[in-house]
Chains A and B, each alone.
Chain A
């Protein structure tokens, strides 16, 4: 999955576009019981057609017709892929092996509306209606990601669960994702299943945390993710459904019975945003060591956003000092009695960002200042009973940072043009239990 810079990026973008272009053909094949998988070498596109047990033997077009259909779909999308090779079930060619079939259990329902109710009855929803996961929709989702259904994206070892691309695609369909969103969903799933994230803990805990999902890079703009007005609010399909797909996957394929949250929070329905990267500040993924032109997904176990309202201050420093008071307010995992603390995210809105930029602050400067000044005093912890004993001389001055290191502050710029509301997002537990994980969006491999 490593790509050399330049060509690698072109290849990544091309593959996402190929997957999208072939989605309609995949759906048509799936309606007749066939699967489609593909592989692009840079010089040739290899398209593999596989037969499911339900395949209609007379329905498969002659190979020459399918080649024309593929060429037509690619041309319509403005794509030039070189030679197109098509392999049919039973072909004794040296081409890639036939695409494996979908293996999920199949259920028959009367119609699409009955399917929605059926999913409710089975306990397969997050409480909202789901899109019926028909084999053709799931096949199109897989085709857009380029992943074969059996590809393992990771495991939840504590629950003896293995998550495969097929389950991810099914839940993504149910969430309402378009096939073009699938690379973000699969990258986020890989991040959640990374041992450093430690999915079992943040998805079982009584603490109400959700998966804050931040998408960076050109892909976020291409699929229309919102980074502006109402960024945590409703109304954008990509934000709403990518975040929802992760939760549905966990509910359905990740053993929801482990979730013992006392309160939970609304971000457990969906919690996905993009960053404003044309704002003159380093985007999150470059601060985390990725190339600016690489698209990435970052996931973090996070509480709900706490808004920071300051419509009055004229200086960046005053704004940041307002932030720090919210960041160090006792009662979160970032300001508790333990020495060990988790990461924290800060979302800076455009008006606040402009004030800071006018005063010469880079994002790295902001991060350093916030880390140095958001400090929890022993006196505050004692007043809250989080440490034993009365407040003693020196307790006000004895202060500790809200995150172990400066790099544990995830600074994102997003939000509407009007309004001076930013947000502080406390993390969960400690960095020993979970850390944010960033995964490049390079899933589309054919």
Chain B
């Protein structure tokens, strides 16, 4: 007998969507943020990257912040802080 079944999937919540910020035209003179994920050596990698960038694109400031756990999103407070202190932020995760 023909029957009807229901999809077990869910839909992405559009109200919780992300939007990309406009990209800066260049890095020179900007306040550069580094968001350390909390993974081992994350900070060392980011600092190395920041050093390489600022050699060719001198930044006005380099701001480093660390998430309490690599497995958790940055808190709204941390994001607000980064937004206030930085023009661009580099984040990443890996082992």
Chain A interface (Cβ < 8 Å from any Cβ of B): 102, 104-112, 115, 118-119, 122, 124, 132-135, 138, 155, 157-164, 166-167, 170-171, 174, 198, 200-202, 204-206, 248-249, 252-254, 429-430, 432-434
Contact = CB atoms under 8 A, between A and B. Distances in A.
B68 A124 contact: no
Interface in B1-22: 1-10, 12-13, 16-18
A442 B92 CA distance: 41
Contact of A430 (B10, B13, B16, B69): B69
A432 B3 contact: no
Main secondary structure of the interface of B (DSSP, over half): loop
Given A112-B3, A133-B5, A155-B16, A163 B10 contact: yes
B56 interface: no
Contacts of B9: 104-105, 124, 167, 252-253
Interface string B46-72: 000000000000000000000011111
Q: Which A-B residue pairs are the 8 nearest by beta carbons?
A: A201-B71, A252-B8, A253-B10, A105-B7, A104-B6, A433-B71, A433-B69, A432-B69
A170 B6 contact: yes
Contacts of A135: 4, 6
Given A155-B16, A161-B12, A104 B4 contact: no
Contacts of B72: 198, 200-201, 432-433
Contacts of B68: 432
B3 A134 contact: yes
Contacts of A119: 5
A206 B8 CA distance: 25
Task: With a 10 A CB-CB cut-off, give which of A108, A134, A155, A432 has the most chain B CB atoms.
Answer: A432
B6 A161 contact: no
A132 B5 contact: yes
Given A161-B13, A253-B9, 15 more contacts: A104-B6, A105-B6, A115-B3, A133-B6, A134-B6, A135-B4, A158-B73, A159-B12, A167-B8, A198-B71, A201-B71, A249-B8, A253-B8, A430-B69, A433-B71
Contacts of B70: 433
B87 to A, nearest CB: 25
B71 A160 contact: no
Nearest to A249: B8
Contacts of A430: 69
Nearest to B73: A158
Contacts of B2: 108-111
B4 A106 contact: yes
23 contacts: A104-B6, A104-B7, A105-B6, A106-B4, A107-B4, A109-B2, A111-B1, A119-B5, A124-B7, A124-B8, A132-B3, A135-B4, A155-B13, A160-B13, A161-B13, A198-B72, A204-B71, A206-B95, A253-B10, A254-B10, A429-B69, A430-B69, A433-B72
